[in-house]
A and B are shown apart, each in its own frame.
Chain A
Amino acid sequence: MDFSYDDEQVALRDAVRGLVGKTYADHDHRRSVTAEDPGHDEQLWARMAEMGLLGLPFAEADGGVGAGPVEIGIVCQELGRVAAPEPYLAAVVLAGGLVAACGTDQQRADVIGPLAEGEGRPALAHDEPASPVTASQDGDAWTLSGTKEPVLHGGSASVLVVTAALPEGGTGAFLVDPADATVTAYPVYDGSRAARVDLDATPATPLGEAGRDLSSSIATVLDLGRVMAANQALGAMRTALSATTDYLKSRKQFGVTLNTFQDLTFRAADMYVSLELTQSMVDWATMVVATGDAEALADAATRVGLQASRGGRHVGQEAIQLHGGIAMTAEYSVGSLVAQLTLLDHLLGDGGVHLRRLADRIDDHGLVEPLG
């Protein structure tokens, strides 16, 4: 039982903070970067590759670093601290994660290698606005038809990792060249990018063994994504609170600083409570990932997802309210943090979705046991 980082993890955190935090220290930089495609800082992305961050979760044989979930969580938290628009979650954790989990040796070499080098970026096309995307087989050739949307960072992807209903039942995943699909990119409210991907008998390569149901692998990668999204949300919450307390100490009204008003300081104290509860849950869920137990991960992902949703909304909403009008402006950083918290909340199922799942399962246990 240990909730603290070891020396190497502290060094990683400091290095990532130095790089990412420095890049977005000036909020104007974030504004100018997100104003144009691809919606993030490609120089920073290249530096992250140099530092080994983009290959962090992957096996060394695939061109990765072979680090554990705690290290990935550290990167996500640091990105969240500055509301970085970089597609780390989308490309590395989700799309890269699924290829690493299910791809053939060749597919892993083709996708993971370039991703880790910063030279190619996969995007996961999973969500569907209407009916499921279906896969069809003709001999060894596969095609996909239907629409995937929103596909986070789909517009700048070098390869699309598309989930689809298999002809024999179950869900498979396929690699699709974006040039073969119709990709319509657009900005998301937090400055990042998403896309609509239309597929119409589009050629696709099955990820791993053709025709195999990958439902459980997909579910596990999405669960990992939920835990990492919560890590990123935690980082954003921490900055939202510190920006708020700094502001309360410096902003004057009625001739005094705002921290003179007890109502405001008490609400900041409640934000701290939400933050610390979220931190505990994020640390725990990240450690559950490390156990490699998919069922335990599914439970932990749901639980941390609910806590991060509740905590993120509370801290984000109060951060804006306690700042007042300034936090309503795009010019000020708190709005970006809240926008990103909102995106992270809804990316892989929001608090309500998680709560419904947990409510269905209350008879499965007596006490909830964090230590198993």
Chain B
Amino acid sequence: MRLELSEDDQAFREEMRTFFTSEVPEEIRQRVIEGEELSKDDIVTAMRVLNDADLAVPHWPEEWGGRGWSELRRHIWYDEMQRAGVPPPLAFNASMIGPVIAHFGNQEQKERFLPPTASAEIWWAQGFSEPDAGSDLASLRTTAVRDGDDWVVNGQKTWTTLGQHADWIFTLVRTDPEAKKQRGISMLLIDMSLPGVEVRPIELIDGGFEVNEVWFSDVRVPGDLLVGEENQGWTMAKFLLGNERVGVAPVTATKRALARLKELAADTLADDPLSRSRVAELENELLALELTALRVAAHSADGEPHPASSVLKLKGSELQQAVSELAVDLAGSGSLASGAGDDSGVPAWQRRTTPRYLNYRKASIYGGSNEIQRQIVASRILGL
């Protein structure tokens, strides 16, 4: 047992810290740190800077831009990125479809899609959930029917995050209606500019429009856009969701948000013992979670995820929510001024607290709801 990072890993951490704080535009990082909304350009710009330095997709196979780092180095990379306020590489590209294509796609698909996926020239959307297929994803009903070399797709996807920016969407579609639930599903890549694809925004409780419905009406998709084998989509979905779970516990970003909140609400905190104790309790829980993430990273060297990894999503989302809730409380009645402009007398941080609090209710629902995570812990770890 040893607490310190090795000299090499310390040097690596310095290298990452220097890069993130000097190469990624300051104004983008500042927007992240202040909790402002990022534009599509901000996200793409940051990802290009990372990709130009081979830092966007380090976990991919090395021939496609991966770095062959240890899990610990990946942890340090991700930690320093969040610490510096760098927007993480677009998850749909870097964490979701990229690894799937690299692992299951054919050579032509890899060459066609992986470079622009790493550089965000293509903005991907995730087409998994449907109105009747949420946690029970395998009950999805969007169909793809063979017609010559093409697939004809009909159906509806939902909760498509940032689908309004997307060029392509990776979908799970039913290709064998006769087979049992999981068996008749395939993964199909669909160009969103094709005739018959329609994106309809969904207004959320925070007043924003970050998710969409995506409708497919007789969309004709060329046959070479099926990933892996026909009816093997479920295998890829499980692969993808397993990767997703690891990436959705932004411990450092939550820590950073709490540290920033202490600065912003310093006056209130100065003589409010109850709020101070909430801060202290959250800091301690975040420390326990961060140490668990480090434990998982330090032990995953042989590729087997540590059993405690399922704790990360569950607890990480709860703490992210708890910090956003504390922010609303510290903002007090200023938190009501969500619709006020910059000429408001209420400080900007206070005005932003409630939309973010409402928005983060999603964190315990997406990426496999926390009830699904409990199911995984109970069945796979505890054998219940």
Residues of A within 8 A of B (CB): 1-6, 9, 70, 241, 245, 248-249, 259, 264-266, 268-270, 272-273, 276-281, 283-284, 286-288, 290-291, 303, 306-307, 355-356, 358-363, 366-368, 370-372
Contacts and interface: CB of A to CB of B under 8 A. Distances in A.
A362 B294 contact: no
A358 B292 CA distance: 21
B259 A366 contact: yes
A84 to B, nearest CB: 23
Given A245-B383, A368-B287, 15 more contacts: A1-B72, A3-B299, A6-B1, A265-B379, A268-B378, A273-B311, A280-B294, A355-B277, A356-B277, A358-B277, A359-B276, A362-B279, A366-B259, A367-B83, A367-B256
B262 to A, nearest CB: 6
B288 A70 contact: no
Contact of B382 (A265, A306, A366): A265
Contacts of B377: 269, 272-273
B268 interface: no
Given A1-B6, A281-B287, A363 B262 contact: yes
Contacts of A265: 374-375, 378-379, 382, 384
User: Which has the most chain A C-beta neighbours within 10 Å: B3, B6, B283, B315?
Assistant: B3
B384 A3 contact: no
A356 B308 CA distance: 29
A290 B1 CA distance: 10
Contacts of A360: 276
A362 B315 contact: no
Secondary structure type dominating chain B contacts: helix
Band of interface residues on B: 35 or more
Contact of A283 (B4, B295, B315): B295
Nearest to B279: A362
Contacts, number: 152
B248 interface: no
A368 B314 contact: no
B269 interface: yes
A291 B3 contact: yes
B5 A362 contact: no
A353 to B, nearest CB: 12
B276 A362 contact: yes
A366 B4 CA distance: 20
B375 to A, nearest CB: 8
Interface string B119-146: 0000000000000000000000000000
Contacts of A303: 284, 287
A284 B291 contact: yes
A359 B282 CA distance: 10
Contacts of A284: 3, 291
Contacts of A366: 259, 262-263
Nearest to B315: A273
